[in-house]
Amino acid sequence: MTKLKTDFVALGGSRSEHAPHTPGGGCLPAGVTAPDFTLHVTADQRLTLSDLRGKPVILAFYPADWSPVCGDQMALYNEVLSEFHRFDAQLLGISVDGVWCHSAFSEARHLHFPLLADFEPKGAVARQYGAYRRADGTSERALFVIDRGGIIRWSYCSPVAVNPGADGILEALEALTR
């Protein structure tokens, strides 16, 4: 793997900050079956998680399109997408924004992975994963790596103002190959 500055460790954070974290006991931990869901990718196209069985899946919940940290996080994942694909992994971005907002955001950022609209009922999937922020009506900045059989093998809930980077995801994908 090419050495990439893909996480906040490069910005002075410590590796221990990548340990799975569940504020308030919220985000689902490793070892749990990933809840199935169907969400809109576009106004007339839906994606169902269980249809991706047989390949690793990365769920990247984020608070909102157009926010500076979210924009940087999604741009980073776009840059390292080929690294995710080396593991045959499918990346899915998920927020409570609607399909039209996602479409404009994806086009402006030139993203090459699906953004799913957890819009109506608002945050229903984020709630299933323990990643809904009731106080502000958005998602946590939560990451999940799901194995080929649909089991969460790694999860991480980052502080909302911190880009969690990609190193934890890549380490989790590497662990799936061992």
The end-to-end CA distance of the chain, in Å, is 16
Active site residue 70: yes
> Which of the following is catalytic: 27, 70, 101, 157?
70
| Greatest Cα-to-Cα distance within the chain, rounded to the nearest angstrom | 43
Neighbours of 161 (CB within 10 A): 10
To which residue do tokens 């990365």 refer? 58
CA 19 to chain CA centroid, nearest Å: 16
Q: What is the DSSP letter of 28?
A: P
How long is the chain?
Answer: 178
Collect all residues with Cβ–Cβ distance below 8 Å to 42 and sequence separation of at least 6.
99, 103
Residues with a catalytic annotation lie at 70
